């Protein structure tokens, strides 16, 4: 996703956030047509523009000036970085969360996985900081290699990676009542044979090819198609995403998958 907090920037845990008045589902805004891109790609069919429902993901590196403007530009949903490993809390999580909910954007939280901390510890840390809030999007487990980490560049065998993922997914699902969506990259997906994890819901990053080209045969729910997006109401470049389906499909998915 976006750049990560370094392992040396320890942030103390904050209490779980209070629920705002966001409805469980709502009308779809302008389909991402207000989004720009500093490095656009001419995708093969179907391009992101063919999908009607678009959204964002962000962390402390994005400054949101006005959430209603973000929504009016076409952001139906946003996933916000909450935690990393077993001791890092994104310092902008609370601010982004409250702003998105108040601005009418469906919000969820994601956890960036760290291979030097047991999955049980990471799941507990995520749950402690996010809590359970009615109407939130399902949680996301962000699985990708982190070669720039100052403290942990461990790459376990694929079978061990999948076992750790399943442990995290099961713990969070038991607590929140929704199984997390898995976010990943082409390299990580291939290295760890994630196609062997059947019946999971995937959010796939691919900024030069379509999901069908980058992940042959893999079903997907969300596609992160740009890391250089320009969105009115946000000061910095932002990741852009789309939902695989119609507006009606998205609202039906919300009914099934919100916490």
Question: What share of residues in the chain are helix, strand, coil (percent, to 5)?
Answer: 30, 20, 50
Residue with tokens 């069908």: 212
Contact 105, 73 (CB under 8 A): no
Which of 84, 144, 213, 236 is the catalytic position? 144
The DSSP 8-state label assigned to residue 67 in this structure reads H
- Is residue 144 part of the annotated active site? The answer reads yes
| C-alpha distance from residue 218 to each of 101, 204, 214 (Å) | 31, 9, 9
CB 240 within 8 A of CB 229: yes
Pairing of strands 88-89, 75-84: antiparallel
Longest dimension (CA), the chain: 45
Distance of CA 135 to the CA centre of its chain: 16
- DSSP, collapsed to helix, strand or coil, labels residue 226 as strand
Q: Alpha-carbon distance 180 to 42, whole Å?
A: 31
| Rounded distance between C-alpha atoms, residue 179 and residue 191, angstroms | 23
CA 3/CA 196 separation, integer angstroms: 28
Which tokens belong to 118? 């047991």
Residues taking part in catalysis: 144
């Amino acid at each position: 996703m976006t750049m990560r907090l370094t392992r040396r920037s320890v942030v103390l845990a904050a209490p779980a956030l209070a629920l705002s008045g966001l409805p469980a589902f709502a009308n779809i805004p302008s389909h991402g047509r207000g989004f720009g891109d500093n490095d656009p790609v001419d995708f093969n069919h179907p391009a992101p523009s063919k999908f009607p429902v678009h959204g964002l993901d962000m962390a402390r590196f994005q400054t949101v000036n006005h959430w209603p403007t973000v929504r009016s530009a076409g952001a139906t949903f946003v996933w916000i970085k909450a935690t990393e490993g077993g001791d890092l809390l994104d310092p902008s999580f609370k601010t982004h969360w409250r702003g998105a909910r108040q601005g009418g954007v469906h919000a969820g939280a994601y956890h960036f996985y760290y291979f030097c901390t047991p999955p049980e510890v990471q799941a507990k840390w995520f749950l402690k900081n996010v809590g359970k809030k009615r109407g939130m999007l399902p949680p996301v487990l962000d699985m990708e290699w982190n070669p720039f980490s100052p403290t942990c560049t461990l790459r376990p065998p694929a079978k061990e990676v999948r076992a750790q993922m399943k442990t995290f997914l099961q713990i969070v699902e038991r607590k929140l009542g929704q199984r997390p969506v898995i976010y990943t990259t082409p390299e990580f997906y291939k290295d760890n044979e994630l196609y062997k994890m059947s019946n999971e819901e995937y959010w796939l990053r691919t900024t030069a090819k379509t999901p069908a080209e980058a992940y042959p045969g893999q079903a997907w729910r969300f596609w992160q198609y740009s890391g250089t997006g320009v969105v009115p109401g946000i000061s910095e470049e932002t990741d852009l995403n789309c939902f695989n389906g119609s507006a009606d499909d998205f609202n039906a998915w919300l009914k099934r998958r919100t916490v």
